[in-house]
Structures are given as structure tokens and as C-alpha cells.
Amino acid sequence: MKKLLLVSIIVIFYCCSKEDSTSKMENLVVYSYYTTAIGEYPYDNLYPASDGPITSADFYFFNAKDIVVPIQKDIITIDNLTDYSDYKSEVVGLLETQGKLKLSNGSVVNSIQIDIRNLDNGTYKRGYASTVVDAHNDDEWNDVLTKNAISLSIGEYLVVVIHGGHPYYCSEGYSYKTITITKDMPTSDRYITIVFPWDMHYKGYFDWIDNDGFYN
């Protein structure tokens, strides 16, 4: 009887563990676009309202519990910096070189390693997800280089995105928002989209711009 009970417990534990491990992972897909900004930050108007060009970007993910104070906001306009063309955001630089995020109190936190689905349906771990544009057709994703299908465990995260495209239009631009991964996420919540303002007079942090129906 004791042996039967022990075997039953082991079977139950195995089944629960297997179910738990598979239910903890949810697939997300990341997309990035850019558009023309009309006016000054925080951009009351964006143009065009549809068919915005695709652009490249890097998406970093952080455990929300690690963000104990706000992120440092580097806000630089052409009017308040004489060497504007050479300006480099401290936040962007730290993300690009070390995968770390600088907070407003000067402390830094590490991005998490995420599972990224490869073209052969295998997975590998990396500190960020990327979207890459086809150099020969800037309206298409580069399917060979872009690995924008990712998996995260259930929980709350801060996603920080930096632009990776044209150096003059969205250079040094970054934004962030909090996302919550649940066991039964609706399909509509599994797409993370961001629009970068196409602005030659502004660099650094900007409020997150969702596609909000701008783009298909």
C-alpha cells in the first residue's frame, strides 16, 4: 500500500510539474515602425496615419520587481545642446554595450535572458529580441536575420526598446512600458508594437507610442 501511495504521489508530481512547465511559457511577437512627428514632443500628431514603414529595433526585458525607481530619462532637443549631432544617450549606450538599464537614482539592473524561436523552430537564449529590416526592401522584415518570436514565463516585465535604424531620424531613441504575461493571454495581447517618431530635432526618451490602428 505504501509503495502504491508513493508511486501515485510521484506520478501526480510529475504530471503537475510537466503541466506547470509548459503553461509557464507564452509566445510573444515584437514589431517596430516609425512615423513622422508633427510638432514637438510629446507629439500631439503623427503622420502618416497608415502604412508606416517598418524599422529595426532591439527589445530588452526586465523583471518589473527590479525597477524600484523610474528609468533615467535622457531628453535632448536640438535647441538645448550645442553638440546635438554627437549626442549619445547614456541609457541607450548602457543597453547596447552591457544589456543593463540605468535608473533615475544611478543604479543599474540587468536584462533577463529570453527564449527566442529560431527559423528551424529551435530556441536559444539571448538578452534581447531584435527586429531587422531587409536592406533591399525597407518595407519587409528580413526573415533570415529577424528572430522576433520570443517566450517569457508568466509574470510582470518592463520592456525597453531602442531604435536600431537610421542614425538621423530615430537615433538614440528609446521608450518602455510594463507588460503582464498570463497563462491564457488573448492573441491580441501577444503582439508588442512600438512606433518610433521620425524626428531630426529630438533624441532620447519618448512616451511609448503603440500602433493604435496606424499600421496593419
> pTM for the complete prediction?
0.81
Say which range, 3-17, 35-49, 67-81, has the weakest mean pLDDT.
3-17
Confidence of residue 11 (pLDDT cuts 50, 70, 90): very low
Q: 2-6, 56-60, 78-82, 202-206: which has the highest mean pLDDT? A: 56-60
Instruction: Check residues 24 and 193 and name the one with the higher pLDDT.
Output: 193
pLDDT digits (tens, 9 = 90+) for 51-96: 578 888 999 999 999 998 988 888 777 666 556 567 788 899 999 9
Mean pLDDT of the chain: 77
Q: How far is CA 35 from the centre of its chain?
A: 18
Average pLDDT of span 2-27: 43
Strand partners, 32: 194
Residue 26 pLDDT class (50, 70, 90 cuts): low
Mean pLDDT across the stretch 147-156?
Answer: 84
Percent of the chain's residues with pLDDT above 90: 19
- Residue 6 phi, psi dihedral angles, 5° rounding: -65, -45
pLDDT surpassing 90 at residue 139: no
Q: What is the pLDDT of residue 67?
A: 92
pLDDT of 158: 95
Question: Does the CA dihedral 43-48-51-57 come out positive or negative?
Answer: negative
- The pLDDT of residue 22: 42
